[in-house]
Amino acid sequence: MGTVTGQWKQLLLNALESNSHLKHSSFFQLATVGSSGRPSNRTVVFRGFQENSDKIQINTDCRTHKVEELKHCPFAEICWYFTDSWEQFRINGRIDIVDASDPDLKKVQQREISWFASSLKSRLQYLGPSPGLPCLSKEPDQEFLDPSAGPDGAFCLLVLDPDQVDYLNLKIDQRIQFTCQLSENGEKCWNSQRINA
Amino acid sequence: MGTVTGQWKQLLLNALESNSHLKHSSFFQLATVGSSGRPSNRTVVFRGFQENSDKIQINTDCRTHKVEELKHCPFAEICWYFTDSWEQFRINGRIDIVDASDPDLKKVQQREISWFASSLKSRLQYLGPSPGLPCLSKEPDQEFLDPSAGPDGAFCLLVLDPDQVDYLNLKIDQRIQFTCQLSENGEKCWNSQRINA
């Protein structure tokens, strides 16, 4: 039996709620594939679901390897382990990269919303030197940012559209696989199945 | 300037020590690439370094997807985030799969050592139904295991041989990249470089 909104989203919202006393509960690991065909994996911050959908938002710097990698292969898998409730969500899907040059006005607007939703400290990072490049002589860090200024050119919104979710609850040894299929009218339809842990 | 033993190993041992009060400090996320070319990502348990080397050991079930994936593409990246000290290690390398059929006696012995080093509860899992397959009618779980019995056929030792490590310390905003090259006599030689966080 399929459902339009996957029940995994409710399980994830519950996990976020029951682990919300831990700062790191909004951190997860994002795996991508590099142009060499080797996997990459790093911790990123959950920036909420996009509006009423099940699409997951991540902020990043356009100058990072992950953006380069996603241009080459748009697929990614999130592994999100909740350390207090012992739940794991593996969320696989395709990532849409929304940068300053996006021609879609709706997406440009979502990027702007995400920019203003992040802290001034977070925004300042995009004005710093290129992440991952060798450290040069101490450049003084920029300390001030106009709070009303729009997204920096390096600011990038990643939107992951999930099509498979593997849920594992280690406290009760239960594992559920959620799989998405598109219906005739292009709507997402989620099915679930209990699988061996 | 290169060093035979990467300084990252000492940083990792320090992080394990300073986060040892947290059960989940020995958990990390392992990314691999599936035969479809899409990335996979899951939480696994650190089972120590192999002897005096910098090779990282993981136990797994031969019947899991990850073993199938590693046969197709042996490269993996560990992302290990320490929630108390705010340190992240991204460890990239090649994985050697050691199963019951391995012709190398030394490796067979290491697999046996890893089996006996894990708890009886951990060992029991390998006697259960195939992980990831649909749940069938309730089979009673096996409750007893002979503590002196050698490794189950499904038990598999994974050994990751790192060739690149990216270390990030979020408390002091410092990032170091460690890269490995083989010397003329085949010995590993690690170099490090400060990079922008």
pLDDT in tens, A98-114: 999 999 999 999 999 99
A130 CA: distance to closest CA in chain B (Å): 7
A120 lies within 8 A of chain B by CB? no
CATH architecture of A7-129+151-195: Roll (2.30)
CB pair distance less than 8 Å for B41 and A33: no
| Chain A residues lying within 8 Å of B196, measured CB to CB | 128-135
Q: What CATH topology corresponds to B7-129+145-195?
A: Pnp Oxidase; Chain A (2.30.110)
CB pair distance less than 8 Å for B81 and A29: yes
Element (H, E) at A78: strand A75-82
A173 lies within 8 A of chain B by CB? no
| Chain A residues lying within 8 Å of B42, measured CB to CB | 79, 88, 90
* ipTM field: 0.95
DSSP string over A15-77 = HHHHTTTSGGGGEEEEEEE-TTS-EEEEEEE---BSTTSSPEEEEEETTSHHHHHHHH--EEE
CB pair distance less than 8 Å for B88 and A43: yes
Q: What percent of chain B has pLDDT over 90?
A: 89
- Residue A75, phi then psi, degrees to nearest 5: -90, 145
Task: Report the chain B residue with the minimal C-alpha distance to residue A130.
Answer: B196
- Residue A4, phi then psi, degrees to nearest 5: -70, -45
B129 lies within 8 A of chain A by CB? yes
Task: Look at residue B125 in the predicted model and tell me its pLDDT.
Answer: 94
Q: How far is CA B111 from the centre of its chain?
A: 13
Parts of chain A with a pLDDT under 50: 1
pLDDT in tens, B60-104: 999 999 999 999 999 999 999 999 999 999 999 999 999 999 999
State chain B's maximal CA–CA distance in angstroms.
60
Task: Look at residue B1 in the predicted model and tell me its pLDDT.
Answer: 46
pLDDT in tens, B107-139: 999 999 999 999 999 999 999 999 999 998 666
Give residue limits of the domains in chain B.
7-129+145-195
B90 lies within 8 A of chain A by CB? yes
A146 has which bridge partners? Answer: none
Both tokens assigned to A51: 């509006």
CB pair distance less than 8 Å for A130 and B196: yes
- Residue B175, phi then psi, degrees to nearest 5: -135, 130
pLDDT in tens, A34-69: 999 999 999 999 999 999 899 999 999 999 999 999
